[in-house]
Amino acid sequence: MHRHEARNLHYDLRIEAGGVLACWAVPKGFSYLPADKRLAVRTEDHPLEYESFEGSIPKGQYGAGTMRIWDAGTYEVRKAKGIAQALEKGELKLELRGRRLRGEWHLVRTRQEQGKNWLLFKARDRYAGSGSDLFAGADMSRAVQKPLPRRLTRMEAEAGEKPFDDPDWLFEPAFPGRRVLARVEDTQVSLQAGAEDLSGRLPAITKALAGVRARTALLDGILVALDSGGRPSEQALTQELEQGGAAGSTGSGVVLYLFDLLYAEDWDLRGLPLRERKAALRGLLPDSGRLQLLEPVAERGQALASAAGESGLAAIVAKRAGSAYRAGVSKDWLRIPVSAAPKGAKAEPARRRKAADALPVAISNPRKVYWPEQGYTKSDLVGYYDQVAGFLLPYLRDRPLHLYRWPDGVRGKSFYQKQLPEELLSQLATVDVARDGEEPVLYAMCNDRQALLTLVNSGSIDLHPWFSHQGSLDSPDWAVLDLDPKEAPFSSVIKIARQAGRLLRGLGLEPYLKTSGSTGLHVYLPLKPGYTFEQSRMFCEAVARLLVRDHADIATVERAVSRREGRVYIDFMQNRREQTVVPPYVVRPVEAASVSMPLEWDELETDFRLADFTLLTSPKRLERVGDLFRTALSRPQDLAPAIEALGRQL
Give me the count of residues in the chain.
Answer: 650
Confidence of residue 250 (pLDDT cuts 50, 70, 90): very low
By CB atoms closer than 10 A (0-12, 13-18, 19+), residue 275 is: buried
Q: What is the mean pLDDT of residues 147-152?
A: 92
Instruction: For domain 144-342, give the CATH number.
Output: 3.30.470.30
Decide if pLDDT at 356 tops 60: no
* Higher-pLDDT residue of 625, 576: 576
State which CATH number among 3.30.70.3300, 3.30.930.10, 3.40.50.150, 3.40.1160.10 fits the domain covering 478-584+629-649. 3.30.70.3300
Tell me the C-alpha distance between 277 and 253, whole Å. Answer: 27
Task: Render pLDDT for 513-540 as a digit per residue (tens, 0 to 9).
Answer: 999 999 999 999 999 999 999 999 999 9
Question: Tell me: the pLDDT tens digits for 482-517?
Answer: 999 999 999 999 999 999 999 999 899 999 999 999
Distances in Å between the Cα of 280 and the Cα atoms of 181, 187, 276, 500, 597 are 17, 21, 6, 29, 22
> In sequence order, what are the residues at sequence separation of 6 or more whose Cβ sits closer than 8 angstroms to the Cβ of residue 453?
359, 360, 361, 382, 385, 386, 389
Q: How confident is the model at residue 432 (pLDDT cuts 50, 70, 90)?
A: very high
Residue type, 102: R
Alpha-carbon span 79 to 436, nearest angstrom: 75
Band the pLDDT of 248: cuts 50, 70, 90. very low
Q: What is the band of 605 on the pLDDT scale with cuts at 50, 70, 90?
A: confident
The mean pLDDT of the chain is 91
Q: What is the dihedral of CA 607, 610, 615, 620, to 10 degrees?
A: 30
Contacts 24+ apart (CB under 8 A), 363-366: 363/457, 364/457
Domain range list for the chain: 2-122, 144-342, 369-462, 478-584+629-649
Helix/strand/coil (H/E/C) assignment for every residue in 122-149:
ECCCCCCCCCCCCCCCCCCCCCEECCCC
- pLDDT tens digits, 377-403: 999 999 999 999 989 999 999 999 999
Closest to 66 (Cα-Cα) out of 3, 146, 121? 3
When mean pLDDT is compared across 238-247, 299-308, 409-418, the lowest value belongs to 238-247
